[in-house]
Structure 1
Amino acid sequence: MKTVAIALAATTALTALPAAAQELNVVGSWSSLPLNQQYETPFWTETLPANSDITVTMTTHDQMGLGVADVYRLLGQGVYDVGMTVADYAVADAPELEGLDVPLVATDAASAREMIEAARPMVEDIYADTFNSKVLAIAPYPPQVVFCNAEVGSLADLEGKKVRASGRMTAKLLEALGAEGINVAFSEVPGALQKGVVDCAVTGAGSGYSAGWWEVSTHLMPIPLGGWDPVVTAMNMDKWNSLDAATQETIQSQLKTEFEDPAWATAQTALENDIACLTGQGSGECAGDVRDMTLVEVSEDDFAKAAEILKSEVLPGWAERAGADWAQRWNDSVGQVVGVTVATN
Structure 2
Amino acid sequence: MTGGVFEQETNKGNTMKKNAAIVAMLIAGLATPAFAQTLPATEITVVGNLGTTTQSRVLEAPFWTTKVTELSGGSVKARFRPMNELGLKGPEMFGMVTDGVMNIATGQLGHHSGHDPINDGSDLAGMSSNYDEFEAASTAFFPILAEYYRTKLGLHLLALQSYQSQVVYCRVPVENLADIKGKRVRTSGASQSDFIAYLGGAPVNMPFGEVQQALEQGVIDCAITSTVGGYTSRWYEGSKFVYDLPVNFGAGATVANAAWWDALDPAVQAFLTKEVGALSAEMWAQNRREDREGIACNGAGPCSIGEPAMQTIVTPTEADLALQKEAFEKGVLPGWLNRCGEVCSDAYEKLSAR
Q: TM-score, normalised by structure 1?
A: 0.85
- The answer for the alignment partner of 2:311 in structure 1 is 293
Question: Unaligned 5+ residue runs, structure 1?
Answer: 1-16, 338-345
Higher mean alpha-carbon deviation, 236-245 vs 112-121, is at 236-245
Supply the distance in 1 between the matched residues of 2:97 and 2:268 (Cα, whole angstroms). 20
- The answer for the alignment partner of 1:34 in structure 2 is 54
* Residues 180-329 of structure 1 aligned to structure 2 (within 5 Å): 180-225=202-247, 227-257=248-278, 259-281=279-301, 283-284=302-303, 286-329=304-347
Supply the distance in 2 between the matched residues of 1:185 and 1:130 (Cα, whole angstroms). 30
User: Is the Cα contact below 8 Å between 1:93 and 1:130 reproduced in 2?
Assistant: no
User: Is the Cα contact below 8 Å between 2:124 and 2:332 reproduced in 1?
Assistant: no
User: Is the Cα contact below 8 Å between 2:39 and 2:268 reproduced in 1?
Assistant: no
The alignment status of 1:144 with 2:166, answered yes or no, reads: yes
Once superposed, which parts of structure 1, at least 4 consecutive aligned residues long, lie more than 3 Å away?
A: 17-20, 194-197
Supply the distance in 2 between the matched residues of 1:246 and 1:253 (Cα, whole angstroms). 11
- The answer for the alignment partner of 1:9 in structure 2 is none
Supply the distance in 2 between the matched residues of 1:22 and 1:44 (Cα, whole angstroms). 13
User: Is the Cα contact below 8 Å between 1:149 and 1:199 reproduced in 2?
Assistant: yes
* Residues 98-109 of structure 1 aligned to structure 2 (within 5 Å): 98-109=120-131
Output the amino acid matched with 1:181.
Answer: P
Higher mean alpha-carbon deviation, 136-145 vs 153-162, is at 153-162
- The answer for the alignment partner of 1:4 in structure 2 is none
Supply the distance in 2 between the matched residues of 1:247 and 1:189 (Cα, whole angstroms). 44
User: Is the Cα contact below 8 Å between 1:75 and 1:131 reproduced in 2?
Assistant: no
Output the amino acid matched with 1:314.
Answer: V
- The C-alpha deviation readout for 1:10-38, integer Å capped at 9, x for no partner, is xxxxxxx9865221121111111122122
Supply the distance in 1 between the matched residues of 2:39 and 2:71 (Cα, whole angstroms). 15
Q: TM-score, normalised by structure 2?
A: 0.83
Supply the distance in 1 between the matched residues of 2:149 and 2:346 (Cα, whole angstroms). 19
Q: Percent identity?
A: 27
- The C-alpha deviation readout for 1:169-215, integer Å capped at 9, x for no partner, is 11111111111112223333323333444321111101222332223
**Number of aligned residue pairs:** 316
Question: Unaligned 5+ residue runs, structure 2?
Answer: 1-36
Higher mean alpha-carbon deviation, 135-144 vs 148-157, is at 148-157
* Among candidates 47, 50, 68, match of residue 67 of structure 2: 47
Supply the distance in 1 between the matched residues of 2:169 and 2:272 (Cα, whole angstroms). 37
Larger CA Rg, structure 1 vs 2: 2
Structure 1 residues 160 and 24: alpha-carbon distance in aligned structure 2, compared to 1, 3 A threshold = same
Structure 1 residues 19 and 153: alpha-carbon distance in aligned structure 2, compared to 1, 3 A threshold = closer
Output the amino acid matched with 2:332.
Answer: V
Supply the distance in 2 between the matched residues of 1:321 and 1:288 (Cα, whole angstroms). 41
Q: CA deviation at 1:100?
A: 1.9
User: Is the Cα contact below 8 Å between 2:166 and 2:224 reproduced in 1?
Assistant: yes
Supply the distance in 2 between the matched residues of 1:25 and 1:142 (Cα, whole angstroms). 27
Let me know the Cα RMSD of the aligned residues: 2.0
Supply the distance in 1 between the matched residues of 2:130 and 2:115 (Cα, whole angstroms). 29
Supply the distance in 1 between the matched residues of 2:155 and 2:52 (Cα, whole angstroms). 25
- The C-alpha deviation readout for 1:249-299, integer Å capped at 9, x for no partner, is 100101112x11122223333222211111015x34x22222211112222
Higher mean alpha-carbon deviation, 178-187 vs 77-86, is at 178-187
Supply the distance in 2 between the matched residues of 1:179 and 1:62 (Cα, whole angstroms). 32
* Among candidates 167, 170, 180, match of residue 192 of structure 2: 170
Secondary structure of the equivalent of 2:77?
Answer: strand
